[in-house]
Amino acid sequence: MDDDRRAFLESLLSTPGPSGYETDSQRVWIDYVSEFADDVTVDDYGNAVATVEGGEPSVALAGHGDEIGFMVRDFTDDGFLRLSRIGGSDKTVSRGQHVTIHSADGPVSGVVGQTAIHLREQNGNGEVPEIAEQHVDVGATDGDEAEELVDRGDPVTFTQTIGELANGRLSARGMDNRVGIWAAAEGLRRAAERGTDVTVHAVSTVQEEVGLQGAKMVGFELAPDAVLAADVTHATDSPDTPSDRSTGVDLGAGPAVSRGSANHPVLVEALRETGAADDLDIQLQATGLRTGTDADAFYTARGGIPSVNVGIPNRYMHTPVEVIDPDDLDAAADLMAGFAVRADEYAPFSVEV
């Protein structure tokens, strides 16, 4: 990954965008794709589509731009904030963390309180309160002062740190799914550089973490002929993964092409052939029930849009320390671009019955 692409990724990761509050992070993405797209459009909810014009078919390279987080729900009389969840936030990792409340007047620093080990009852050490029962300390001395700093409904995120681990691997909050929209944008740019006769869209959807809502909107309105949905997938190669949940997906072994459920067999085969032709390492992942990604919304839009999930291996999903390998990310962008420039060879993407 060169310096410009790394800077784009870090800009995405360092800009907060919980579901329903994606405006700032969508702007980072739009500014980047505007440099090479023929057209960029944004709908009423903030879904963004960048297009390189060509002929038929049209293919979409999509990711979701939102992240999980929290929201200010209420105030206590003594000045603490009560929280609710945005998406699948994990109660086991929130306490003892620095957070930022994104108020209309600017960011407000806080910490999620954790009772000191000295003060907890011995038999209570394993009990984790629900997020609704946790609190944020912003330093206020009473409820009135807290309400002067922030409002109910203000989004809250973990305060960002981007760490570089050995072998160039990266750790940060919000890899899910800033890496997906990075791959979609880069897939579009690389397809344009290679030259493509088809129309290629890159898409950054909103509100995936609260029900795939943006993909439902875009799938209906854009109606592409095929969709590659880039999202993180569980790298199950860390020691704490339950053996019965292992998928065989490893960090650093390439993007994972999903098979089953939403994943259209013609697109699966096209990606496998593209990977072989372009000498890209890919992994296969079994998703017999659902992918848990925007692909699940795209493939049922309108009369059905052939879709497939391209998974970027990610350790420790939905924590502040998600870990990815940039080589997997680069390969995902190359895989998507490679498909885009060959898409007309596989159209009309229908199964033979």
pLDDT tens digit string along 231-282?
999 999 999 899 888 999 999 999 999 999 999 999 999 999 999 999 999 9
* CATH architecture group of domain 3-67+173-346: 3-Layer(aba) Sandwich (3.40)
For residue 14 the two structure tokens come to 């360092």
CA gap 322, 287 in Å, rounded: 22
Label residue 118 by pLDDT band (50, 70, 90).
confident
Q: Where are the alpha helices (DSSP H) in 1-152?
A: 3-14, 23-33, 143-149
Rounded Cα distance between 259 and 313, Å, is 16
User: Is the backbone of residue 312 left (phi > 0), alpha (psi -120 to 50) or beta?
Assistant: beta
CA distance 261 to 264: 8
Quote the CA–CA distance of 257 and 231 in Å, as a whole number.
11
What's the rounded mean pLDDT across residues 94-104? 97
Domain ranges across the chain: 3-67+173-346, 71-158
**pLDDT at residue 308, as a whole number:** 98
Percentage above 70 pLDDT, the chain = 99
Number of H helices, E strands in the chain: 8, 17
Q: How confident is the model at residue 119 (pLDDT cuts 50, 70, 90)?
A: confident
Q: Give residue-wise pLDDT tens across range 335-351.
A: 999 999 999 999 999 99
- 3 state SS of 322: strand
What CA–CA distance (Å, rounded) separates 18 from 343? Answer: 33
Token pair 């420790």: residue: 316
Pick the closest to residue 201 from 188, 218, 214 (CA basis): 188
Length of the chain as a residue count: 353
Does the pTM surpass 0.75? The reply is yes
Mean pLDDT on 22-48: 98
- Are 172 and 163 in contact by the 8 Å Cβ rule? The answer is yes
Rounded CA separation 49/333 (Å): 17
| pLDDT (tens digit per residue) in 172-206 | 999 999 999 999 999 999 999 999 999 999 999 99
First to last CA, the chain: 42
Query: In this predicted model, what pLDDT tens digit does every residue of 217-241 receive, in sequence order?
Result: 999 999 999 999 999 999 999 998 9
- CATH code, residues 71-158: 2.40.30.40
